[in-house]
Structure 1
Amino acid sequence: MSIITISFITTVLFVFLSYTSISKSLKNQYIHESESVLQQSTNYFSYQFLNVENILEKLSEELTVESDNIFGTLQFYEQLIPSSSTIFMGLENGKYYYSSKQLYPKSYKVVEQEWYKNINKSEGVTWTKPYMDYLTPEIIISASMPITHNGLHGVVAIHFKIDKISEMISESRIGEDGLVMLLDGNGTILANRDNYLIGESIIHPQQEKLLEQSFDQLVPYSIDNKEYLIQTKAISQNGMSILTAISEEELRNELVKSLLPIVLTGILSLLIFGTMAYVGLLKVIKPLKKLIDLMSSVELGNYNVYAKEKDYLEVHQLTKGFNSMIHGLKKRDQELNHTYNEIKKTEKQLRVKYEELKESEEKIQHLAAYDSLTGLLNRRSIMQLLNQTIENNNGELYKAIIFLDLDNFKTVNDSLGHSTGDHLIVEVAQRLNNLTAKRKDVARISGDEFILICHDLHSESESEQIAQEITALFEEPIIIDSKQLNVTASVGVAIYPSHATTTEELLKIADMAMYQAKHFGKNCYKVFDETVKREVDEKVEIELGIGECLRNNKFELFFQPLFNVQQGRVTNVEALLRTKSSALSKFNIFQIIQTAEITGQILEIDQWVIREACRSIQRINEHMEDPLHISVNISALHIMQQDFVKNIKTILEETGVEPGWIDLEITETSLMESFDLNIAKLFELKELGISLHLDDFGTGYSSLNYLNRLPIDHVKIDKSFVDKMLQSEKDSKMVETIIALSHNIGLQVVAEGVEHEDQFELLASYQCELIQGYYISKPVNYETIIRFIQNQNINHMSI
């Protein structure tokens, strides 16, 4: 018995020491691997993000308003950043450039993007939180930096696809079951090796302190109900962090594998010693048999027997061993009871966790399908729904796909703030939900754009009734915070299956019809037809042609002289836009400018015209004893830009032209929107020495109150008045009155569209200062206008 006890104790002690040593060694091995991966991953991301910040700083210095090829510059720098990343540049006016060849839709509003909101916050690099990409359902993170110099005001940004920049993490591992994760600032998992728990947050209220301690040391932590030893390290640039986790279960399994040979050796030893003990036991019980024989002898009356006490020591040890066994069984029952209670507690916690996960999943599903502001369906959901309804449609009934865009919504945001804009969007969503159509689905797909699908229509005419009802919704003003907003909408309608049978085509042609409604003056609806398609295709063709002209310098200036009646010579010329591009040869300049105003390209055209006009008049006046003035038309959209005056100043400084040689022509209608703000800009231009002309006078508001408040020098009588003044005395008196009124308030007058000598003589008799038209000269190129001015002969005009 003693031999068995000693061998058992020795084996247990050996296994215990082996367990302690192997456990420590294995843990150190895993910790070393974890720290190595953590350091390498952190260094990798820090280097990548630092490199991005350096590139953004170089880009912000290199990109200027005069950059010949902004797109090429963005593509060049894109080669220096991680693959599948994109560089974006957004300007304050909403225009944007991007290095990717993928086309973003017109509905993409750059000023609403998180990365763009850095424009007025900081001069350094700002990192966004991870968010969903506009086009593809992929998680991205953006680094952005404002550009506020060299005439450029905007933001340049680099977008990363999380799954692409996280490839190093995808290849990293700690053991077989360990984790390496990229976390955002809120503890949400962005990337790991097997896309495990992507989008889940690992921060739980009961474990927040443990997670904080993991930045300094290795701590036990539960992830997805599995136990790990975790350690984290922050990425300094953007608040993200790397987490490494050692699986405690894997540690235990590896420990068991290492201990198994030792345990088997111990068992073998016990068997050997057990055999020896059995042989010894036979020898031990021999005294007991002898004792029985002695007791039998006593029973027969033999009292002369004697049992030696030392022969029966094993019986005493057996009794003691039995008592120890009873004590051990009692202790085991107590431990089993404690374990049972712990299991019940864990089961309860698991149930609570399950309910939390279920609730989180429901929230995520709702966010993925619905617009967070209005509660309407989002773009992805409405497209899926339309796909499903088309697949299940039996073809007997019609569907109306209605595209709605609020008119001048940007003005509401700019003048009243984004909070008012959000309240307006919510109110519009409620009104659309209250339409009388029985079966309809309503979605908000971007800032101020909505899509309605009306099902089970028995005729195409029903779609027009619905469109009329939608436009009628905006007849009543919308009240937001005691402010009355007179909002209108442009509505485009496509009909299934008459116009198209696929989701993409239906949405595309509904969008076309909506833009056609805007073209017709907004606040109306348009049902798609072939005329709409042709006009939209024409607009697209013009838009592409304008882009080609801007990139390849295919625009040119023509000049039309203005004859000064009092001085008897040409004192002014007007700069007029023309194109040398074959892509735009079949379109007149009015169509080109009208399309440019719709697409926003008019801003870049305006700046090109002003700059070229300044350079041209600089060269013209080098040959003139008395310098000439040059007139340039300014678009309404350009005046509305915050940096309008700044752009003019920059061009004057770049060209070195005298501001007094420049006349800017502005229409009445362009001033009426945000009148007080625009008039302040005109006063700034006057302070620079620039002369201001009010173009198309008499065709707009023509309010004497406004006229008296404007800091203008000339009014320009529209051609429509000049054409009629010889045909009726009433029209003639109207022209004479305009000239007299202008003179009485200190303004000079320009008459345009003068084509005949009789018109010229009558205007001269009214003391009109400047006369412009084909009677003087048609618009000509630079070389011709130089010759005309140098060789002008007033006698041929028969004045």
Structure 2
Amino acid sequence: MRRRGIRFWALISITAVSFITTVLFVFLSYTRISKSLKDQYINESESVLEQSSNNFTVQFSNVQTILASVSEELEKDFVDVFNTLQFYERLTPSNSPIYLGLENGQYYLSSKQLLPDSYKVVEQEWYQNTGNGNEVSWTEPYLDYLTQELVISASIPVKHNGHNGIAAIQFSIDDISSIISQSVIGEKGLVMLISSSGKILANRDNYLISESIIANNQEALLERSFDEQVPYVIDGQNYLIHTMTIDQNGMSILTAINEKELQNYLIKSLYPIVLTGIVTLLLFSSMAYLVLLRGIKPLKNLGTLMSYVELGNYDVYAKEKKYLEVYQLSKGFNSMIRAIKKRDRELNLTYNELKKTEGQLRSKYEQLKASEEKILHLASYDPLTGVLNRRSLMQLLEESIEHHNGESLKGIIFLDLDNFKTVNDSLGHTMGDKLIIEVANRLSSITAGNKNVARISGDEFIIIIHDLQSENEIEAFAKEIVQTFDEPLIVDAKQLNVTASMGVALFPIHADSTEELIKFADMAMYQVKGLGKNGYKIFDEDIKKAVDEKVEIELGIGECLKENNFELVFQPLFNVQQGRITNVEALLRSKSSALSKFNIFQIIQTAEITGQIIEIDKWVLREACLSIQKINKEVEVPLHISVNVSALHIMQQDFVSNVKEIIEETGVKPEWIDLEITETSLMESFDQNINKLYELKEKGISLHLDDFGTGYSSLNYLNSLPIDHVKIDKSFIDKMLESKKDSKIVETIIALSHNIGLKVVAEGVEYKEQFELLTDYQCELMQGYFISKPANYETIIERVNNNLKEKIISV
């Protein structure tokens, strides 16, 4: 095989890589900038279109309202026409005049301007254009007889003192153009008001006023512009146009992006980027070539090795074999010195082995000694902060309790930093570790006669105070810690405001064992967390009662799961559009006497704290799957069943596999299952949880967002969730009859959900008025006591088959 030199392959490689990279860079830059610019112009066009449409809609609605008011006022007997017209003139755009012409030849003008004798009311455009009935009519642009200005008018039939007539508001094209005078799309884009016949009524510079924008055989193309940006030629120039119709009068707003301007801006934006990229690649290629040339340096090194051999140094070896030039020289050089080194190696082998063994033994000894010292330190102290660790703290506390003289108290302060996770998430774990070190230093520096500080987990500390004479002393010490955290902590020149929640327990007042002392202090700390954080609380009987109650519920849950003493009841969801029950929600109930004095909310809350909620979730889902199969065998049209899923279960790695396993095990159709999740359950590990939901969505399972409005309610993430329904929280439904503001909130949530393709469920519907109002708001699904209370399997089937619609309609 023929071998080529290093320089040859270097030139070939660099030339190829530079060419390919340059072409790819130019292509990607063009594609990305082109899309970005077009999206930017389109977004600007959409914004201007919507804003202009809203402005014209409001303007024209006001005009129609004024005309309707004028019509009503003129029907009254003996009304003063001039005063009436002048009053409403002040409400018109730019104080535009109001005309009134009657069939008996009388006419009026709100400005009291005298009309010339040649002015024939019945011949005016505003009088002739009026249609039948009481609807407001709009004219095409025409030249006003009096002002010689281009105007349009809105008119309405009226009756005054027994005579029929026409009332009209006439305003100039300049007044209309002022609405969009500041609206721009780029530098050469257009914003126009188009009449129903296609004539241009207004734009920023009165460009092409009264001319028709609809060319021959292009009506269909223009109609497409209502839904998307479409190419269109206006006055010999290419544009991307988008239109929106004004409901009041059939007029349209048109925005047009100048394609030539867009292309020029693209080239202008692309030129410096491409030039910079090419220059950068040329520099890179030159540098790479110089670096590769340095690869020839081994040839020079080989010559140096030969010089060493000439001087009697045979402990050299040529390693370069890749290229033709080096390969031949290295092969001959190594063959030459191999025989010489073999002779010397045998003589030095024994000596080198003994020396090496001695060094290894010495190194091992030093490593073992250092490891022993490190292990002894790590066994007793926290490696990050240098304070005691959990193991040494427990040992110290147990020995202290064992040798207690009975004459003093010992205080245990369980301290947990508030919102420490926020520091880690926003500033990084390195900054979090530094903050923990600073907190440990502050706790260690607080004045106390005899204390020990220990770090037992991430941001949790325990302080032991010895030789206390009263409860007041430990309380004073806790207050001193709170005051200490009033001062900001300085970490890497950053000022961090950190607070702490603390629970206090005393030996032997509250407990006489290490485990119970720490446990009671921990419970007291969680009381502080629940009351707003940043403080302390001393353990008392109320906390103990809460602890005992939690233990009782925890044991009762375990018994229910073991003995199968949980049961499901079902609450129907009424589908307003279909007029029937289409869904039921599975609700958990307990049959066990061990949990009889606790409500289901206490049970679920405790299960979430203890982690038992995961097993409850799996039990409820399995029973719901079996139940909906039984129910659907007894009804004509299959129902869906909603199952609530806890935040803790969603965060588990095996959440998706649990759901899939239960569905496959029960054989239920996935499309019958609706999983209800809360907003707050998604915010922890958001991206990971979203991926889980998409995986379930692909399986065919429907996803509902529960308690909407009580959590984050972020529009930023709502549109990215793979959900089908949002469930409005009962608190909003309860208040909607109390005030228009609360009612508007519900209406807005429903409209917003519909706008992004979601359906809406309203829970807690208890009154007929709520049902009717939600029906007006086009809410698809409702549940609550007005529909039905939760019921057992047999009752649900009976209510479905008896058509609950009849009850709802008749109420």
TM-score using structure 1 length: 0.50
1:74-131, Cα deviation, whole Å (9 max, x unpaired): xxxxxxxxxxxxxxxxxxxxxxxxxxxxxxxxxxxxxxxxxxxxxxxxxxxxxxxxxx
Counterparts of 1:453 and 1:459, CA distance in 2: 15
1:677, distance to aligned residue in structure 2 (A) = 2.7
After TM superposition, the structure 1 stretch with the greater mean CA deviation from structure 2, 655-664 or 555-564, is 655-664
1:493, distance to aligned residue in structure 2 (A) = 0.7
CA separation of 1:501 and 1:605: change in aligned 2, threshold 3 A: closer
SS at match of 2:614: helix
Residue 376 (structure 1) aligned to one of 387, 395, 406: 387
1:528, distance to aligned residue in structure 2 (A) = 0.3
Matches within 5 A, 1:694-713: 694-713=705-724
SS at match of 2:765: coil
Q: Which amino acid aligns with 1:666?
A: I
Is 1:789 matched up with 2:792?
A: no
Matched with 2:107 is: none
CA separation of 1:474 and 1:665: change in aligned 2, threshold 3 A: farther
CA separation of 1:765 and 1:357: change in aligned 2, threshold 3 A: closer
1:521, distance to aligned residue in structure 2 (A) = 6.1
CA separation of 1:209 and 1:552: change in aligned 2, threshold 3 A: farther
Counterparts of 2:573 and 2:762, CA distance in 1: 9
Residue 581 (structure 2) aligned to one of 547, 560, 570: 570
Residue 693 (structure 1) aligned to one of 688, 704, 726: 704
Q: Which amino acid aligns with 1:620?
A: I
1:525, distance to aligned residue in structure 2 (A) = 3.5
1:743, distance to aligned residue in structure 2 (A) = 2.0
Counterparts of 1:518 and 1:466, CA distance in 2: 19
1:15-68, Cα deviation, whole Å (9 max, x unpaired): xxxxxxxxxxxxxxxxxxxxxxxxxxxxxxxxxxxxxxxxxxxxxxxxxxxxxx
1:641, distance to aligned residue in structure 2 (A) = 1.9
Matched with 2:689 is: 678
Matched with 2:778 is: 767
Is 1:441 matched up with 2:452?
A: yes
Counterparts of 1:687 and 1:477, CA distance in 2: 49
Tell me if the contact between 1:516 and 1:536 (Cα under 8 Å) persists in the aligned partners. Answer: no
Matches within 5 A, 1:474-485: none
SS at match of 1:516: helix
Counterparts of 1:667 and 1:506, CA distance in 2: 36
CA separation of 1:453 and 1:782: change in aligned 2, threshold 3 A: same
Q: Which amino acid aligns with 2:653?
A: Q
Is 1:652 matched up with 2:663?
A: yes
Counterparts of 2:663 and 2:406, CA distance in 1: 64
Matched with 1:606 is: 617
Residue 588 (structure 1) aligned to one of 580, 599, 610: 599
Is 1:545 matched up with 2:571?
A: no
1:450, distance to aligned residue in structure 2 (A) = 3.1
1:120-154, Cα deviation, whole Å (9 max, x unpaired): xxxxxxxxxxxxxxxxxxxxxxxxxxxxxxxxxxx
Counterparts of 1:566 and 1:601, CA distance in 2: 39
CA separation of 1:709 and 1:793: change in aligned 2, threshold 3 A: closer
Q: Which amino acid aligns with 1:729?
A: K
Tell me if the contact between 1:562 and 1:573 (Cα under 8 Å) persists in the aligned partners. Answer: yes
1:612-654, Cα deviation, whole Å (9 max, x unpaired): 2122222222233321111111111122223322322222222
1:328-368, Cα deviation, whole Å (9 max, x unpaired): xxxxxxxxxxxxxxxxxxxxx9xxx9x99999987776555
CA separation of 1:356 and 1:626: change in aligned 2, threshold 3 A: closer
Counterparts of 1:500 and 1:744, CA distance in 2: 60
Counterparts of 1:571 and 1:742, CA distance in 2: 20
Counterparts of 2:760 and 2:663, CA distance in 1: 26
Q: Which amino acid aligns with 1:705?
A: N
CA separation of 1:357 and 1:209: change in aligned 2, threshold 3 A: closer
Is 1:740 matched up with 2:745?
A: no
Counterparts of 2:628 and 2:495, CA distance in 1: 48
CA separation of 1:610 and 1:470: change in aligned 2, threshold 3 A: farther
Aligned residues, how many?
455
1:659-685, Cα deviation, whole Å (9 max, x unpaired): 222111111222222323322322222
Counterparts of 2:556 and 2:733, CA distance in 1: 34
Is 1:750 matched up with 2:758?
A: no
Tell me if the contact between 1:697 and 1:717 (Cα under 8 Å) persists in the aligned partners. Answer: yes
Q: Which amino acid aligns with 1:753?
A: G
Matched with 1:633 is: 644
Matches within 5 A, 1:257-268: none
Residue 529 (structure 1) aligned to one of 537, 540, 545: 540
1:481-536, Cα deviation, whole Å (9 max, x unpaired): 99999987543211245434554543342233234345556665332010000001
Counterparts of 2:492 and 2:663, CA distance in 1: 43
Tell me if the contact between 1:373 and 1:426 (Cα under 8 Å) persists in the aligned partners. Answer: yes
Counterparts of 1:688 and 1:481, CA distance in 2: 49
Counterparts of 1:525 and 1:435, CA distance in 2: 16
Counterparts of 2:447 and 2:531, CA distance in 1: 26
CA separation of 1:785 and 1:496: change in aligned 2, threshold 3 A: same
Counterparts of 2:702 and 2:739, CA distance in 1: 33
Q: Which amino acid aligns with 1:649?
A: K
Matches within 5 A, 1:387-426: 387=398, 389=400, 398-405=409-416, 426=437
Counterparts of 1:411 and 1:680, CA distance in 2: 23
Structure 2 unaligned runs (5+)? 1-353
Counterparts of 1:741 and 1:629, CA distance in 2: 24
Residue 791 (structure 2) aligned to one of 771, 776, 780: 780
1:439, distance to aligned residue in structure 2 (A) = 2.9
Counterparts of 2:378 and 2:580, CA distance in 1: 71
Counterparts of 1:789 and 1:558, CA distance in 2: 15
SS at match of 2:719: helix
Q: Which amino acid aligns with 2:732?
A: F
Q: Which amino acid aligns with 1:776?
A: I
Matched with 2:503 is: 492
Counterparts of 2:761 and 2:368, CA distance in 1: 75
Q: Which amino acid aligns with 1:686?
A: K
Counterparts of 1:721 and 1:577, CA distance in 2: 24
Paired-residue identity, %: 74
Matched with 2:672 is: 661
Q: Which amino acid aligns with 1:639?
A: I
Matched with 2:565 is: 554
TM-score using structure 2 length: 0.50
SS at match of 1:578: strand
SS at match of 1:700: coil
SS at match of 1:400: strand
CA separation of 1:372 and 1:605: change in aligned 2, threshold 3 A: same
Q: Which amino acid aligns with 1:658?
A: K
Counterparts of 1:481 and 1:527, CA distance in 2: 35
SS at match of 1:648: helix
Matched with 2:726 is: 715
Q: Which amino acid aligns with 2:644?
A: N
CA separation of 1:363 and 1:646: change in aligned 2, threshold 3 A: closer
CA separation of 1:686 and 1:465: change in aligned 2, threshold 3 A: farther
Tell me if the contact between 2:388 and 2:455 (Cα under 8 Å) persists in the aligned partners. Answer: yes
SS at match of 2:668: coil
CA separation of 1:707 and 1:485: change in aligned 2, threshold 3 A: farther
Tell me if the contact between 2:581 and 2:804 (Cα under 8 Å) persists in the aligned partners. Answer: no
Tell me if the contact between 1:561 and 1:574 (Cα under 8 Å) persists in the aligned partners. Answer: yes
Q: CA RMSD in A?
A: 4.1
Counterparts of 1:474 and 1:556, CA distance in 2: 49
Matches within 5 A, 1:173-212: none
Q: Which amino acid aligns with 2:413?
A: I
1:188-223, Cα deviation, whole Å (9 max, x unpaired): xxxxxxxxxxxxxxxxxx99989x9xxxxxxxxxxx
Counterparts of 1:479 and 1:639, CA distance in 2: 37
1:526-553, Cα deviation, whole Å (9 max, x unpaired): 3201000000110011111111122222
Counterparts of 1:540 and 1:412, CA distance in 2: 33
Matched with 1:172 is: none
Q: Which amino acid aligns with 1:750?
A: V
1:597-620, Cα deviation, whole Å (9 max, x unpaired): 111111121122122212222222
